[in-house]
Amino acid sequence: MANVQAVGEQNFNEAVLASDVPVVVDFWAEWCGPCRLVGPELEKIQTEYEGKVKVVKLNIDEAPSVAAKYGIMSIPTIALFVDGDIKSQVVGARPKDDIVMGLGLNA
């Protein structure tokens, strides 16, 4: 996910919770095979929804307190944050259209 911004414990509040646009957060880890499958799908979402949503990724191994705060038990978990709260989420590797539908981006 070369074009998707990485966030961590230091900048999660600013990049996600204080964002003036909805934020799609990919909770992932280096060792997670299915997480690597989701990366290109999220890049497609970032391109298609540019200006409407922001897409970021958070490595749960590097930011365990953030993952714990939001009860992330399985990865990949893709969550839609609106006004600082999780509005919807999708768990597991899914194609772009399933992620979009699961998060309610096409509504």
68 as an active site residue: the answer is no
Q: Would you give the distance in Å from CA 2 to the centre of its chain?
A: 14
Q: Provide the residue type at 54 as one letter.
A: K
- State the catalytic residue, choosing from 35, 55, 66, 79: 35
13 as an active site residue: the answer is no
- DSSP of 67-106, one letter per residue? HHHTT--SSSEEEEEETTEEEEEEES---HHHHHHHHTTT
Question: Could you tell me the CA-to-CA distances from 79 to 23, 39 in Å, in that order?
Answer: 8, 14
Rounded CA Rg of the chain: 12
- State the catalytic residue, choosing from 7, 32, 79, 103: 32
Catalytic residues, which ones?
32, 35
